[in-house]
């Protein structure tokens, strides 16, 4: 027998062994199906998800030749089109009353819609359509395409689209509350109400920085971050740019704005042009000073660094969204002795700006900058609204801490326990307005156990120490 | 006036309200996605503006022999080489289904010249820029950590603890302070496992009465185990151990990160959230119009 013949024989032998082990497995064990299959429409969605749940099969712990007999679970479904049509491979649209799984279900002909590994008891079907009714079944799967009998859910469920996400109701309430306060103060300022705003050192320094650049005959560099105009930080940066441009126009300083996005460039051009026009200096406006470098983060950083080193601006402003480039830019400007003012809402970059810049607008100060610099009463009113928002947030924080502390300390007082649950799950979580009944029952049961153990403890008893 | 102010303000307000609605009303999620797609299309179209600006600016730098005009030459060369190779898919292998049509090649194909430019040109350059950050951090830290006043001294002290607490030197420096493991090591080998199990639970805040070791609850422990459980609870739960163990640099670092750092960070985050609400409202209501430029 030659080498080819030998290989052929070994191949045949292996195939025979494989066939025998598969056969012997099928003969050795019959997988039990999972139990308690149930289906729920996923709440607060647009009707595109269904949650299938079950209890694990009794065969989970079974071993065959030292290996796990149950590999996972396969999920099957039937659909009845009661609403919009559904087109999906391997499904037969039938009337709602007709959907069901036959006793002699053909596992080879029908493809499962999904599968999960052993131990799992949940599957989210993300490919359903609102208005259609679905019936689900789950089968345990073993090696060699073996299946347990199907465990069919008790009833079919219709996928429903919710018109409002109840889980976010508290978020909406708090947001509306703060928004109304802000709008109220804007209206108050519009009516001529007096708004007092504390001085912000970083913003007071804008005039100083631009004035210094004018005296030194050097340009002012404004960096509006590296994100596009759809980011609120870039919008805030552009509004600060409007005010810096006004000051530059007044002092006749040269303002340079390299951008990382084309749309930011066009917006910045419009803004700066309007500022120069407003100050009666349209002749001093040079469109070429506001230019696009690149979208690439470090390519842009290198470009701005080059501008800094070659043109040595006397003042550098960083207003917008920054990432790792923040310190590279600030340290380079520091090395050329520029006065630097930074403002960002990226918490991870704030320490770098604080360390390297002369002034830093931290978070809310950055968003307050345009209102502060514009001195527009309506915009200043929004700042007052923000302050009230902070008071509300602080009051909620203190109240939350107090309730959480009392709930831990007085663990048999139902009111505090429920209040803590409500704050965690409803106000900060996604339970909506009504507390979860199951969790309330658990709290009641825990309190009952605690009270019982207290009643059984002998008076004056300790741990024996 | 209408074209430059009223219509943009109306679009900003409409899209702003729509984006808020998408968060609360599931039905409008698709509208929000559509609005974002429109923005992407707009941004892609604006790329032409950006590229045009880049060309004009660098060409004028070269023609005017401005300082650093050589860099402008390099920029334009890199721009055109990458553009041509990428656009015409030079050197890329067509797919097997249309082997004669070079245009069927994927945009970024491993081994193609365009991929080569990215892999061996852009990526190393980007990595180089990022690597420079380490040196900038050192120079910024050197300036920031000079003990000029009380605040700077506090910053220096805190930074020193946190830096040391992250490296082995910090662990080594305060190695003499007690840990649960060092306490357990003081017991005979036969009792160590039991003491460790009790100590870990006490350390996690479990009251002694709820401690369970090997399925035996504290109330059912007898003899030596009962005495050991009480002794371990008194020591590990005692203020002396808590104080000394807390002074270990790695523990002190964790406390600094978990308490003052986190509190400060969250305060900043609350301020940022309020600022975002306020700025968004100003844009949606048209109170802040500076980003629109002039109406003329």
Please report residues of B whose CB lies closer than 8 A to that of A428: none
Mutation choice for A interface testing from B15, B26, B66, B210 by most A CBs within 10 A: B26
Q: Are residues A290 and A352 in the same domain?
A: yes
Please check whether residue A39 is in contact with residue A75, taking contact to mean a CB–CB distance below 8 angstroms. no
Q: Are residues A340 and A463 in the same domain?
A: no
Token couple for B244 = 């000394």
A199 & A150 share domain? no
State mean pLDDT over A316-336: 96
Domain co-membership, A199 together with A330: yes
Cβ burial, residue A239 (10 Å; 0-12/13-18/19+) = buried
CB of A354 less than 8 A from some CB of B: yes
Kind and range of the H or E run holding A133: strand A133-142
Query: What chain A residue is nearest to B69 in terms of C-alpha separation?
Result: A310
Q: Taking CA atoms, what residue in B is nearest to A305?
A: B129
A310 contacts B67? CB cut-off 8 A: yes
A297 lies within 8 A of chain B by CB: yes
Residues of chain B by 3-state class (helix, strand, coil), percent to 5: 75, 0, 20
Q: Are A237 and A319 in contact (CB under 8 A)?
A: yes
B43·A261 Cβ contact <8 A: yes
H/E element, B115: helix B113-117
Spatial distance between the Cα atoms of B236 and B259, rounded to a whole number of angstroms = 22
A371 pLDDT above the threshold of 60: yes
Model confidence at A322: pLDDT above 90: yes
Neighboring chain A residues of B49 at a CB cutoff of 8 Å = 262, 265-266, 292
Phi, psi of A170 (to 5 degrees): -65, -35
> What is the per-residue DSSP string for A390-418?
HHHHHHHHHHHHHHHHHHHHTTT-HHHHH
Distance from CA of B99 to the nearest CA of A (A): 32
> At A258, which helix (H) or strand (E)?
strand A255-259
Q: Are residues A203 and A154 in the same domain?
A: no
Distance CA B241, CA A363 (A): 40
Res A171: pLDDT: 92
| pLDDT exceeds 80 at position A190 | yes
Give the pLDDT score at A214. 93
Residue A307 in contact with residue B71, Cβ under 8 Å? no
Do A124 and A265 belong to one domain?
Answer: no
Look at residues A351, A375, A399 and tell me which one is the last residue of a structural domain: A375
pLDDT tens digit string along B113-166? 999 999 999 999 999 999 999 999 999 988 888 888 888 888 889 999 999 999
Question: How confident is the model at residue A63, as a pLDDT?
Answer: 78
Chain-chain contact of A362 with B268 (C-beta, under 8 angstroms): yes
Closest CB from B26, B137, B278 relative to A182: B278
**pLDDT reported for residue A13:** 61
More confident residue, B244 or A105: B244
A237 and A352 assigned to the same domain: yes
Residue A459: pLDDT band with limits 50, 70, 90? low
pLDDT at A11 over 80: no
Measured distance CA(A222)–CA(A271) in Å, rounded: 13
Task: State whether the Cα torsion B141-B143-B147-B148 is positive or negative.
Answer: negative
**For testing the chain B interface, which of A188, A233, A235 should be mutated: the one with the most B CBs within 10 Å?**
A235
The answer to whether A163 contacts chain B (CB < 8 Å) is yes
Q: Which of A384, A7, A87, A169 lies closest to B278 in space, CA to CA? A: A384
Residues A368 and A222 placed together within one structural domain of the fold: yes
Task: State whether A137 and A202 are in the same domain.
Answer: no
Q: Contact at 8 Å (CB) between A218 and B261? A: no
B294, pLDDT greater than 70: no
Question: With bands split at pLDDT 50, 70 and 90, how would you rate the model's confidence at A2?
Answer: low
The CA-atom distances, in angstroms, between B232 and each of A247, B192, B210, B245 are 69, 11, 14, 15
Nearest to B235 by CA among B178, B171, B174, B188: B178
Q: Are A400 and A208 spatial neighbours (Cβ–Cβ below 8 Å)?
A: no
Using only the alpha carbons of chain A, give its radius of gyration. Answer: 34
**Once rounded to an integer, what is the mean pLDDT over residues A312-329?**
96
State the best of A274, A310, A319, A334 to mutate against chain B, taking most chain B CBs within 10 Å.
Answer: A274
Contact list in B for residue A299 (CB cut-off 8 A) is 122, 125-126
Domain-embedded: residue A13? no
CA–chain centroid gap for A445, Å, is 35
Query: From the CA of B181, how many Å to the nearest CA of chain A?
Result: 23
Q: Which of A375, A405, A422 is the last residue of a domain?
A: A375
The pLDDT of residue A28 is 54
For residue A204, the enclosing domain spans: 195-375
Those residues whose C-beta lies under 8 Å from the C-beta of residue A332, and which sit 6 or more positions away, are A305, A308, A309
Q: Domain locations in chain B?
A: 2-135, 180-246
Residues of B in contact with A271 (CB under 8 A): 290-293
Q: What integer is the mean pLDDT of A220-226?
A: 97
Nearest Cα residue to A299 out of A349, A255, A357, A258: A258
Mean pLDDT of A327-334: 96
Checking if the pLDDT of A89 tops 50, the result is no
Q: What is the DSSP-derived secondary structure letter of residue A343?
A: E
Looking at the fold, whether A205 and A284 belong to one and the same domain comes out as: yes
Same domain, A133 and A273: no
Chain B residues whose beta carbon lies within 8 Å of the beta carbon of residue A230: 36, 39
Residue of B291, B292, B295 best to disrupt the A interface, most CBs of A under 10 A: B291
For residue A310, list chain B residues with Cβ-Cβ distance below 8 A: 67-68
For B204-220, how does the pLDDT look when each residue is reduced to its tens digit (9 = 90+)? 988 888 889 988 888 88
Is pLDDT at A5 greater than 70 in this prediction? no
**Among A357, A343, A352, residue whose Cα is nearest residue A239:** A343
Question: Looking up tokens 């349209």, which residue turns up?
Answer: A282
Instruction: Please name the residues in contact with A79: beta carbons below 8 A apart, sequence gap of 6 or more.
Output: A86, A88, A91, A93, A94, A99, A132, A133, A134, A135
Cα–Cα distance measured from residue A327 to residue B155, given in angstroms and rounded to the nearest whole number: 18
Residues A152 and A175 in one domain: no
pLDDT at A17: 53
To test the contact with chain A by mutation, choose from B282, B285, B295 the residue with the greatest count of A C-beta atoms within 10 A, namely B282
Residue A20 has pLDDT above 70, yes or no: no
Q: How does pLDDT run across A136-188, given as a tens digit for each residue?
A: 999 999 887 889 999 999 888 988 888 899 999 999 999 999 999 999 998 99
Q: Which residues of A touch B288 (CB under 8 A)?
A: 239, 370-371, 379
For chain A, the domain total comes to: 3
Provide ipTM, 2 decimals. 0.85
Task: State the smallest CA–CA distance between residue A82 and chain B in angstroms.
Answer: 19
Residue B239 — pLDDT band, cuts 50, 70, 90?
A: very high
Residue A90 pLDDT greater than 60, yes or no = no
Residue-level pLDDT at A132:
87
Angle, vertex CA A121, rays to CA A119 and CA A123, nearest 5:
120
Put simply, the answer to whether A262 touches B49 (Cβ < 8 Å) is: yes
Are the Cβ atoms of A266 and B46 closer than 8 angstroms? yes
Residue A239 resides in a domain: yes
Nearest CA distance, B280 vs chain A (angstrom): 7
pLDDT digits (tens, 9 = 90+) for B14-50: 999 999 999 999 889 889 899 999 999 998 898 899 9
């Amino acid at each position: 027998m030659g080498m080819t013949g030998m290989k052929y024989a070994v191949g045949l032998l292996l195939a025979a062994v494989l066939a025998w082990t598969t056969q012997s497995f099928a003969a050795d064990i019959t997988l039990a199906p999972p139990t308690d299959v149930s289906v729920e429409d996923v709440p607060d969605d647009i009707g595109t998800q269904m949650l299938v749940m079950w209890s694990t099969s009794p065969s989970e712990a079974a071993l065959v030749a030292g290996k796990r007999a149950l590999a996972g679970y396969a999920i099957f479904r039937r659909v009845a089109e009661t609403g919009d049509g559904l087109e999906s491979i391997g499904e037969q649209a039938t009337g709602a009353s007709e959907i069901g799984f036959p006793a002699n279900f053909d596992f080879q002909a029908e493809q499962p819609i999904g599968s999960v590994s052993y131990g799992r008891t949940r599957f989210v079907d993300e490919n359903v359509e609102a208005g259609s009714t679905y019936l689900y079944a789950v089968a345990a799967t073993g090696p060699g395409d073996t299946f347990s009998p199907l465990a069919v859910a008790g009833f079919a469920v219709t996928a429903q689209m919710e018109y409002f996400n109840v889980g976010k109701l508290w978020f909406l309430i708090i947001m509306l509350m703060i928004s109304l306060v802000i709008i109220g103060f804007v209206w108050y300022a519009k009516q001529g109400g007096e708004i007092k705003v504390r001085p912000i050192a970083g913003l007071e320094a804008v005039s100083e920085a631009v004035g210094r650049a004018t005296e030194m005959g050097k340009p002012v560099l404004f960096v509006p971050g590296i994100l596009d105009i759809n980011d609120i930080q870039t919008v805030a940066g552009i509004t600060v740019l409007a005010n810096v441009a006004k000051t530059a126009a007044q002092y006749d300083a040269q303002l340079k704005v390299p951008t990382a996005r084309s749309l930011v460039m066009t917006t910045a051009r419009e803004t700066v042009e309007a500022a120069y026009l407003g100050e009666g200096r349209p002749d001093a406006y040079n469109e070429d000073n506001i230019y696009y470098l690149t979208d690439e983060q470090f390519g842009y950083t290198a470009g701005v660094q080059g501008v800094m080193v070659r043109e040595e601006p006397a003042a550098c402003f960083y207003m917008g969204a920054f990432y790792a480039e923040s310190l590279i830019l600030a340290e380079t400007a520091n090395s050329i002795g520029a006065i630097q003012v930074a403002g960002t809402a990226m918490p991870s970059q704030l320490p770098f700006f604080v360390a390297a810049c002369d002034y830093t607008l931290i978070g809310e100060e950055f968003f307050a900058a345009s209102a502060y610099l514009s001195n527009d009463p309506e915009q200043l009113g929004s700042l007052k609204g923000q302050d009230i928002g902070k008071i509300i947030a602080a009051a909620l924080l203190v109240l939350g801490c107090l309730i959480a502390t009392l709930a831990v300390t007085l663990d048999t007082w139902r009111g505090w326990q429920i209040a803590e649950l409500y704050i965690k799950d409803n106000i900060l979580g996604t339970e909506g307005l009504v507390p979860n009944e199951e969790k309330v029952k658990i709290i009641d049961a825990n309190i009952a156990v605690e009270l019982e153990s207290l009643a059984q403890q002998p008076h004056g008893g300790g741990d024996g120490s | 006036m209408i074209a430059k102010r009223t219509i943009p303000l109306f679009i900003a307000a409409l899209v702003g309200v729509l984006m808020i609605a998408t968060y609360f009303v599931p039905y409008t999620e698709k509208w929000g996605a559509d609005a974002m797609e429109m923005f992407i299309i707009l941004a892609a179209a604006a790329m032409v503006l950006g590229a045009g600006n880049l060309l004009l600016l660098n060409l004028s730098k070269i023609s005017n022999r401005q300082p650093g005009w050589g860099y402008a030459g390099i920029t334009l060369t890199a721009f055109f080489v990458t553009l041509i190779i990428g656009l015409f898919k030079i050197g890329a292998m067509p797919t097997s289904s249309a082997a004669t049509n070079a245009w069927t090649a994927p945009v970024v194909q491993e081994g193609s010249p365009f991929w080569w430019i990215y892999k061996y040109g852009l990526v190393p350059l980007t990595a180089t820029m990022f690597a420079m950050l380490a040196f900038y951090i050192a120079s910024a830290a050197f300036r920031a950590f000079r003990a000029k006043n009380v605040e700077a001294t506090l910053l220096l002290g805190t930074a020193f603890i946190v830096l040391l607490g992250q490296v082995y030197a910090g662990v080594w420096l305060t190695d003499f302070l007690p840990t649960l493991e060092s306490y357990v090591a003081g017991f005979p080998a036969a009792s160590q496992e039991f003491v460790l199990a009790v100590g870990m639970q006490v350390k996690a805040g479990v009251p002694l009465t709820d401690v369970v070791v090997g399925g035996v609850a504290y109330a059912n422990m007898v003899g030596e185990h009962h005495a050991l459980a009480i002794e371990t609870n008194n020591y590990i739960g005692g203020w002396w151990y808590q104080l000394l163990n807390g002074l270990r640099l790695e523990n002190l670092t964790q406390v600094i990160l978990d308490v003052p750092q986190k509190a400060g960070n969250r305060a900043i985050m609350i301020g940022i959230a309020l600022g975002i609400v306020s700025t968004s409202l100003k844009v949606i209501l048209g109170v802040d119009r500076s980003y629109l430029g002039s109406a003329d």
